[in-house]
Amino acid sequence: MKKPKAKDKINKLRNQLNKKEAVKFKSLILKRKNEILDNINHISEDTLKKSQKDAAGDISGYAYHMADVATDTYDREFSLGIASNERQILYELDDALKRIEEGAFGICEDCKSLITKTRLKAIPYARLCLNCQQKREKK
């Protein structure tokens, strides 16, 4: 008796994630994507479009205190770091949408088994099942 090939196993798993579920996950991903885009726009407006003087709320003509400048700079860099992390998640969400279209969504990239729906609801861009993710994190 022949062992099932990896390709056959993947095809069987794809069929388990039916079209109705794929539409649900696509909707979830698009919703999350819009939330992140709104967050990035909000951060951009608050951080990049304001001068340092406006951000500090200083309307006087006096020079800034060094501690205030440092705090404002830290806050600006912190906000830009958050925006950068959000952009990375956007890339992951776009990739998850591609995997839905290709029929590879919900299949672990390492062991080729199904990723649990609970995990996909929490992290819709997950590429690995929980076991494989834990193995990678231990390394």
Give one DSSP letter per residue of 59-118, joined into a string. Answer: -SSSPPPHHHHHHHHHHHHHHHHHHHHHHHHHHHHHHHHHHHHHT-TTB-TTT-PBPPHH
Q: Distance between CA 83 and CA 61 in Å, rounded?
A: 31
Query: Within 10 A of 59 (CB to CB), how many other CB atoms are there?
Result: 7
- Domains with residue ranges and CATH for the chain: 6-54+64-138 (1.20.120.910)
Question: Dihedral sign, CA of 124, 127, 129, 132?
Answer: negative
pTM value > 0.75: no
pLDDT, position 11: 59
pLDDT, position 29: 94
67: pLDDT strictly greater than 80: no
pLDDT, position 22: 85
Segments of 89-134 assigned E as strands: none
Name the more confident of 98 and 66: 98
